[in-house]
Amino acid sequence: MDLHAWIFGDDLDRERMLDMDQRLAPVRRNALVVLGVALLLSSPWIGIWTLAPLLLAAGLFKLANRQAGLTERPEYLILGAWVASEAIIAAAVALTGGPRVVTMGWLVIPIVTLPSRFSARVVKLGAAIALVLLAAVAFGTDAGAVVRDPPLVIGPAATIIAVAMLLIALMRSDIEHRDECVIDQLTGLLNRKALATRSDELEQQAMVTGEPVGVIVADLDHFKRINDEHGHAAGDAALAEVAYRLRKQLRAFDLVYRLGGEEFLVLVPGADLTEALTLAEGLCAVIADEPLTDGSEVTMSLGVSASTRGDAFDFDAVTRTADEAMYEAKRAGRNRVCASGSWEHVNVRRSERALASAST
């Protein structure tokens, strides 16, 4: 099983997670302040030291947010911070008295943040983790009290389960509506709106890390001919299959977008020009080397550009040069890859069928 896919789903789920984590950051800080005030007001009865776990959780989230911009897989840091926060709350409940304290119900709070960032599977997993911690705190601190008064555990456990069920239902409705905004309905790829969000994020990350970002602009060759000769339904089917092949060729953290018509764009975080070119060659080949399901043969022209390691990433500038390179690939004969800054096609990849077709 692909653990990354199981946790974060497809490109849309990951994009949504990264976007929502940024939106949740100020709300999470305010929620921690509310909990801190509650503990402070309760300190005459439970002690001022109970603020320590809360401060630890706040510091953990701050560290995770800072490190997220320095790694290619920030989603793992975010999930790890969530698990740690749930464990910290459980530890605080245990130290303040276990099943008889009102803070037992606080174990449900982190679960509320899961649906905005992760899949329904992770929400269920989070609820299961909360239930295990609940049982560990209750039986580990005062098993006798639980045996004498089971509702001490039954009540919070039912709350955790009910909240998770409601959140999953709301999440599915939210995803359906968000899909309409950021997903191209024909190909299932992310659209221009999603691209704007991701490009802004990469520009900010590059300022911190200095890592390059590659951009590949790809356009199907002679696509109008497919529509004219076989109809728009065939053209739509071709676009959907091309989109599927592109996605299958990419790494987990690369993202492909449909810009409109038969034009696509691929963002390649951490890739310099040479690495982006290698990926583009693979994309060119995966389209040309096998006919589509209906037997028709299509090719793509691709332009590649990348920011320089150590410099800022200017999405508009890099995309513009990649687009110019793509048009040069068209002028050079199509079904090839062209790099920015050098108007010579690079490592042209053509299938035997394409060569035979060209010779006739």
Q: Are residues 257 and 232 in the same domain?
A: yes
With bands split at pLDDT 50, 70 and 90, how would you rate the model's confidence at 5? low
Tokens of 24: 């949740």
Distances (CA, A) of 338 to 127, 151, 213, 247, 288: 50, 68, 17, 21, 16
150 and 199: one domain?
no
pLDDT value, residue 309: 92
Do 172 and 199 belong to one domain?
A: no
Of the two residues 259 and 359, the one the predictor is more confident about is: 259
Q: In what order do the strands lie in the sheet with 337-339?
A: 255-260, 263-269, 213-220, 300-306, 337-339
Q: What is the pLDDT of residue 57?
A: 79
Average pLDDT over every residue of 198-216: 92
Residues 250 and 339 both lie in one domain: yes
What is the CB neighbour count within 10 angstroms for residue 212?
A: 22
Q: How far apart are CA 309 and CA 213, in angstroms?
A: 8
- Could you count the other beta carbons within 10 Å of the beta carbon of residue 66? 11
Q: Which of 335, 285, 276 minimizes the C-alpha distance to 304?
A: 276
Q: Do residues 146 and 224 share a domain?
A: no
For the stretch 337-353, pLDDT in tens is 999 864 443 444 443 43
Is 345 found in the same domain as 232?
yes
Is 100 part of any domain? yes
pTM of the model: 0.56
Range name among 17-31, 40-54, 182-196, 218-232 with the lowest pLDDT average? 17-31
pLDDT tens for each residue of 132-180: 999 999 999 999 999 999 999 999 999 999 999 999 888 877 666 555 5
Residue 1: both structure tokens together: 């099983």
329 is in which domain, residue-wise? 192-359
Amino acid at 167: L
Q: Is residue 187 part of a domain?
A: no
Q: Indicate if 196 and 343 belong to the same structural domain.
A: yes
Number of domains in the chain: 2
Token readout for 35 is 């909990």
Asked if 174 and 231 sit in the same domain, the reply is no
Q: Do residue 170 and residue 231 come from a single domain?
A: no
What proportion of the chain, given as a percentage, has pLDDT over 70?
84
